[in-house]
C-alpha cells in the first residue's frame, strides 16, 4: 500500500526543491526567446512557438498553488526535464523522446480555448478555459502515474478535483458516464493526419469514478501552468488507472447515458478496455504488468493494485466482478 499522509518533513528532498532547479537549460533558452519576442527584437519566426509558451499563460498568477498534504509519495518526484521529455500524446506524434512530442506540441496555441459542456446537463454551454480555472480552487497534489506500457513517474500536478467541476456543470440525474474529448486541429497536430487513429481522442469515467476525490483535472505541473506536452490547458489525472485514461487537452466534457468507447478501445479493444484499472496480476496480452520502470530513477519497482490507491477507490468496483476491471 502506498504510504499516504506522511508528514511533510518525510517528503523526499526533490519534493521541496524550488522550481528554478527544475528548469532545464532548454527551458531557460526558451524563456530567452520569449523575452526577445516580447521586446520586439525578433522577427516573426518566433511568433509561432510563443503561442504555446506557458510563460504567457493568462492564469500564471494562480501559481504555485498550495499543496494538499493528503497526497504524498513514497518515492521521489520525477524531475521535470525527464517527465517533460517522455510524453505519450499521439496527436503530436508517436516518438515520445528527444523532445519530439514536446517541441511539436509547443506550437499549439493555448488561447483562445473553450470547453463545451453538453449532454445530460441542466444547461449545455461552451465556457472559456480561464473562466473555468478561475471558478475552481487550485491545489497541488503529488500523484503517481502508471502507463499501460509499464513505465511510471511521480509528478506534482496542479488543478482541481473533477468532482468540483462535475458539480459546477450540473449534470442531470440520468447521466451515468462522463466523456472527455481532445481538440482536433491537424494543422498544429500532425499526428491527426494519421488516419489509422479515429480522432478525436476520447475516453470516459463512470459518474461514481468522476466524483471520487482522487479524480483530478490538471491545469499545471511543477508549480506553474502546464507546458503543452502534458495536455494543456486542461487534462485529466486518474492515477489508479492506466495512463491512457488521463485525456489531454480537453475541449469537450459530455454527460451521457451510454458508456463511451475510448480511442484505444476503438483501435484495439482486445488490449485496452473501458475500466483499465492498474493491476499487477493481470497481464497485458503482450507483456506483464507485474512491475514498472520509474522514468526518473530508472529503477524497476513492483506495480501496486490500483497503482497504490486501493484504499480510496477499491469500493467503486464492489459488485462489478463480471466486468473486465483491469484492462
Ligand atoms: N489526447 C491524448 N491524451 C492522452 C494521450 C494521447 O495520446 N492523446 N496519451 C495518454 C497516455 S498513453 C499517457 S501514458 C498519458 C501521458 O501523460 P504525460 O505525457 O503527462 O506523461 O497521457 C494520456 N492522455
Ligand atoms: Mo500510456
Ligand 2 centroid distance, CA of 94 (Å): 11
Instruction: Give, using CA atoms, the residue closest to atom 19 of ligand 1.
Output: 87
- pLDDT (tens digit per residue) in 279-310: 999 999 999 999 999 999 999 999 999 999 99
Instruction: List Cβ neighbours of 266 (8 Å cut-off, separation of 6 or more).
Output: 198
Question: What are the residue ranges spanned by the domains of the chain?
Answer: 63-316
Residues forming the annotated binding site for Mo-molybdopterin?
87, 90-91, 147, 182, 235, 246-248
Instruction: List Cβ neighbours of 181 (8 Å cut-off, separation of 6 or more).
Output: 200, 201, 202, 247, 250, 251, 252, 253, 254
DSSP reduced 3-state for 60: helix
Ligand 1 centroid distance, CA of 248 (Å): 6
What confidence score (pLDDT) does residue 150 get? 98
CATH no. of 63-316: 3.90.420.10
Ligand 1 centroid distance, CA of 183 (Å): 13
Which grid coordinates belong to 12?
A: 523526499
What confidence score (pLDDT) does residue 98 get? 67
CB-side neighbour CA atoms (13 Å) of 112: 5
What confidence score (pLDDT) does residue 52 get? 87
What confidence score (pLDDT) does residue 100 get? 84
How far apart (Å, rounded) are the C-alpha atoms in residues 245 and 39?
41
Q: Are 327 and 271 in contact (CB under 8 A)?
A: yes
CB under 6 Å to ligand 1: residues? 87-91, 145, 147, 182, 201, 230, 243-244, 246-249
Determine the number of helices (DSSP H) and then strands (DSSP E) in the chain: 10, 12
What 8-state DSSP symbol labels residue 133? H
What confidence score (pLDDT) does residue 50 get? 66
What confidence score (pLDDT) does residue 38 get? 41
Which grid coordinates belong to 35?
A: 523575452
Ligand 1: residue of 244, 249, 263 to mutate (most ligand atoms within 8 A of CB) is: 244
What confidence score (pLDDT) does residue 177 get? 98
Which residues of the chain are under the pLDDT cut of 70? 1-50, 98
What confidence score (pLDDT) does residue 327 get? 92
Closest ligand 1 atom number to CA of residue 83: 21
What confidence score (pLDDT) does residue 10 get? 33
Amino acid at each position: 500500500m502506498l504510504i499516504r499522509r506522511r508528514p511533510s518533513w518525510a517528503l523526499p528532498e526533490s519534493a521541496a526543491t524550488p522550481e528554478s532547479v527544475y528548469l532545464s537549460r532548454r527551458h531557460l533558452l526558451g524563456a530567452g526567446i520569449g523575452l526577445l519576442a516580447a521586446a520586439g527584437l525578433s522577427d516573426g519566426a518566433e511568433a509561432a512557438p510563443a503561442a504555446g509558451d506557458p510563460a504567457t499563460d493568462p492564469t500564471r498568477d494562480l501559481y504555485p498553488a498550495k499543496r494538499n498534504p493528503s497526497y504524498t509519495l513514497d518515492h521521489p518526484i520525477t524531475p521535470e526535464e525527464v517527465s517533460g521529455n517522455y510524453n505519450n500524446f499521439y496527436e503530436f506524434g508517436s516518438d515520445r523522446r528527444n523532445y519530439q512530442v514536446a517541441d511539436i506540441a509547443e506550437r499549439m496555441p493555448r488561447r483562445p480555448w473553450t470547453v463545451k459542456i453538453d449532454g445530460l446537463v441542466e444547461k449545455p454551454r461552451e465556457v472559456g478555459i480561464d473562466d473555468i480555472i478561475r471558478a475552481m480552487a487550485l491545489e497541488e497534489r503529488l500523484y503517481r502515474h502508471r502507463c499501460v506500457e509499464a513505465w511510471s513517474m511521480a509528478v506534482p500536478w496542479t488543478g482541481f478535483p473533477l468532482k468540483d467541476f462535475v458539480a459546477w456543470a450540473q449534470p442531470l440525474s440520468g447521466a451515468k458516464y462522463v466523456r472527455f474529448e481532445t481538440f482536433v486541429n491537424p494543422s498544429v497536430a500532425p499526428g491527426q493526419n494519421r488516419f489509422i487513429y479515429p480522432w478525436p481522442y476520447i475516453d470516459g469515467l463512470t459518474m461514481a469514478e468522476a466524483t471520487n476525490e482522487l479524480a483530478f483535472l490538471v491545469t499545471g505541473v511543477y508549480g506553474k501552468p502546464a507546458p503543452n506536452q502534458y495536455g494543456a490547458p486542461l487534462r485529466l489525472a486518474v492515477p489508479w488507472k492506466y495512463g491512457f485514461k488521463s485525456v489531454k487537452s480537453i475541449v469537450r466534457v459530455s454527460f451521457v447515458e451510454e458508456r463511451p468507447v475510448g480511442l484505444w478501445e476503438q483501435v484495439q479493444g482486445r488490449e485496452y478496455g473501458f475500466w483499465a484499472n492498474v493491476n499487477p496480476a493481470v497481464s497485458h496480452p503482450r507483456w506483464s504488468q507485474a512491475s514498472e520502470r520509474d522514468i526518473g530513477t530508472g529503477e524497476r519497482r513492483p506495480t501496486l493494485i490500483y497503482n497504490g490507491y486501493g484504499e480510496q477507490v477499491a469500493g467503486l468496483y464492489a459488485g462489478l466482478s463480471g466486468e473486465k476491471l483491469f484492462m
